[in-house]
Amino acid sequence: MHSARLDSATSQTSAQLQQQQTEQQRMRQQSHPQQQQYSNHMKAIQQDPELRRKVLVNRLLYRSRQRGFLEMDLLVGIWAEKQIPQLSENMLQQFEIVLDQENPDLYKWLTGQEQPPMDVAENAAYQVYKRQPLLSSYVSCVVMTSFDDAVSLLSQTVAVASLGHCQT
């Protein structure tokens, strides 16, 4: 008799547990409709080449402007705003590889303080970026002036360039 009560309690507990889990799952699905929307959005991006390109361009622009290193924000961000929208899919992917590099390393490579590793030096987007006039001007300033003066001069050059008074 004691065993029968135990079996009955166990089956009741098991049924309650299963019902509780089902209810929790239903509540999660109702409380997070954004997850389903996000999933649908990601499927749409994967299926539409134009949308996929737009997302990639926007991501690269953001990463170029928000490096967390003032000089890199300015040097990379200005060039990216002008060049990224016109880059081919392959060049966008190459530029993403450049953006994956750590700021201190990339800064040293771009300013000529150190040689980049071969895979970076041979990267097509890195080569195009390295030839930009604003970078050349900045490197010249760094060599001839103090670091703070170079940053100040770069900021002034960026301000003038953004107003469209000079070609960068």
Which tens digits make up the pLDDT trace of 73-88?
Answer: 888 888 899 899 999 9
Give the C-alpha separation, 121 to 90, whole Å. 16
Using alpha carbons, list the distances in angstroms from residue 40 to 35, 43, 52, 57.
9, 5, 14, 20
Using alpha carbons, list the distances in angstroms from residue 64 to 28, 51, 75, 80.
37, 20, 9, 6
pLDDT (mean) for 125-141: 76
Give the C-alpha separation, 133 to 139, whole Å. 10
Contact 57, 85 (CB under 8 A): yes
Question: How many other C-beta atoms lie within 10 A of the C-beta of residue 133?
Answer: 12
Model confidence at 22, pLDDT cuts 50, 70, 90, reads confident
Nearest of 95, 103, 137 to residue 120 by alpha carbon = 95
User: Is the pLDDT confidence value at 165 over 50?
Assistant: no
User: Which pTM does this prediction carry?
Assistant: 0.60
Residues 60-64: contacts with CB within 8 Å, 24+ apart? 60/84, 60/92, 60/95, 60/96, 60/99, 63/99, 64/99
Could you read off the pLDDT of 30-74 as tens digits, one per residue? Answer: 656 666 666 676 677 677 788 889 989 999 999 999 998 888 888
Could you read off the pLDDT of 93-131 as tens digits, one per residue? Answer: 999 999 999 999 998 898 888 999 999 999 999 999 888
CATH number among 3.40.630.20, 3.40.50.2030, 1.10.150.250, 1.20.1250.20, domain 46-163? 1.10.150.250
Report which residue type is found at 126. Y
Model confidence at 158, pLDDT cuts 50, 70, 90, reads low
Joined together, the tokens standing for residue 13 give 């507990």
pLDDT (mean) for 130-137: 73
pLDDT above 90 covers a percentage of the chain that reads 31
